[in-house]
Structures are given as C-alpha cells and as structure tokens.
Structure 1
C-alpha cells in the first residue's frame, strides 16, 4: 500500500493489525506448545481489537485532516504488512513470538513518532499523537500481560 495521506496512514495501520490478526490465528491452530498457542490466540484477539479501534479513527477524524498529504514525511521506510507474517509463529517459542510482535509494534510507534515530529499542522499532529498514544499504551499493555503469563 502506498501511503500518501494521513488517511492512508490510518488505513495502513488498520490493515497491518488485520493481517497480523489473521496470521496469529492461523498459526495458533498449528502451534504445538500450549503456552505459545494461548499467546497466539490472545495476541490475535488483541490485534483484532486494535484493528477496530484504529478503524474508528477513520470515522471520527476531520476529513480535511485525513486528506492532508504527507509529502516528504515518508523518507521513513514504512513497514510492509506482509512482513508481520514472515516468521513462522507456529514454530516459534513463547519468547520469540513476544519479541516479534513487540518489535512490530515498536516499528509502528517509531513511524508515528517520526510523523508527529514532521507534521506542522496542529490538527494532523493531534491525530498522529492520538494514534501514537494508542499504540504505546497497547504495546505496554501487551508487554505487561505477556510478562504475567510467563509466571504461569
């Protein structure tokens, strides 16, 4: 997907979470380690919820903000959605799955931070700031939840 407007950024993020949901669900059916299987199911549910929240941004954001062009902002290399499933989650350990998903979320957060620092229009900065807060909060929540499950 070519990203040229803030609407595209939101759509790209939604599609990435959707793709990750499908990949995690699919791999959970093939995972043999019980704890890793549970993790894949949990992460798939979490990504599905994130997909819906991000889609809500498209519906409630000002169309003028959504249609604002990014121009030179994307010298930052966007993350390709298909990369999120390049690792065989079904064959990964609990810790490897966590690391892969955390890395993906950190790359999304990095993109949002980059965009937030580059945008000059207050409304677009606010939109990206909200998306950034959402991703940071959800990444932190995932981190804490998965750490708790390590103790089980």
Structure 2
C-alpha cells in the first residue's frame, strides 16, 4: 500500500490488524496444541477488535487531518507484519506466538512514536498520539491478560 496521507496510514494499520486476525484464525484450525489454539482464537478476536477501533479513527477524525501528508514514512522501514503468515502460527508454540504478536505491536508503537515527531500540524500530531495510546494500551492489556511479564 502506498502511504501518502494519515488516512492512508490509518487504512494500512487497520488492514494490518485485519490481516493478523485472519492469519491467526486460519492457523488456529490446524494448531495441534490446545493451549496455543486457544491463544490464537483469542488473539484473532483481539486483532479483529483492534481493526474496528482503528477504523473508527478514520470515521471520527477531521478530514483535514486525514488528508495531511505523511512525510518520511518509510525512513524507519515498514512494519513487517505479513511475515507472520509465511510461517503459519499453527507451526509455532504458545511462547513463539506471543513473541510474534508482541513484536508486531512493538513495531507499530515505534512507528507511531516516530510519526508524532514528524507530524506537521497539531491535529495530525494528536491523531498519531491517539493511535499510539490505543496500541500501547492494547499491548499492555494483552500482556497482562496473557501474563507474559513483557514490558512494552
């Protein structure tokens, strides 16, 4: 996806959560370990909820902010989320699934942190801060629920 505006970025982020949810749901069907299968089902639902939350940003954000250009988006490199389906989650154990999911969310958090400093308007900066807060909150909630002891 070609990211030119904050609206494109929100679409891209929403699509990443959607993709992750689909990969997890598909992999859960063939995951032989009950604990890992339950984790994948839970995470698929969690990512689906995140997809919807991120989508609401697009509906509720001022069109001027959405149309603001995102400069230097690729300078930090893209989030490598689609790598998660190159090795199906069905082949990973519980801990490896957790590592992948937290790595994915850490990349998004780092991207949003970076973009806050690059936002040229207050409205765009507030949008990035809101997306960052959402990702951080959900990652912390997930870590607590999974009792992984991970600090993000």
TM-score grouping bracket, smaller chain normalisation: over 0.9
- Maintained 8 Å contact 1:15/1:81: no
Alignment of 1:1-152 (within 5 A): 1-147=1-147
Give the distance between the partners of 2:138 and 2:55, measured in 1 at CA. 15
| Displacement over 2 Å in runs of 4+ | 71-74, 80-84
1:80 CA displacement: 4.5
- Maintained 8 Å contact 2:108/2:135: yes
TM-score normalized with structure 1 length: 0.93
1:58 CA displacement: 0.4
How many residues are matched? 148
1:82 CA displacement: 2.2
**Mean alpha-carbon deviation: is it higher for 69-78 or for 137-146?**
69-78
Give the distance between the partners of 1:104 and 1:81, measured in 2 at CA. 6
Give the distance between the partners of 1:78 and 1:67, measured in 2 at CA. 20
- Maintained 8 Å contact 2:71/2:118: no
**Mean alpha-carbon deviation: is it higher for 60-69 or for 76-85?**
76-85
RMSD of aligned Cα (Å)? 1.2
Which string of whole-angstrom CA distances, capped at 9 and with x for unpartnered residues, describes residues 101-135 of structure 1?
Answer: 00000000010000011113110000000000000
Give the distance between the partners of 1:125 and 1:74, measured in 2 at CA. 18
Which string of whole-angstrom CA distances, capped at 9 and with x for unpartnered residues, describes residues 26-85 of structure 1?
Answer: 000000100000000000000000000000000010000000011334312122442232
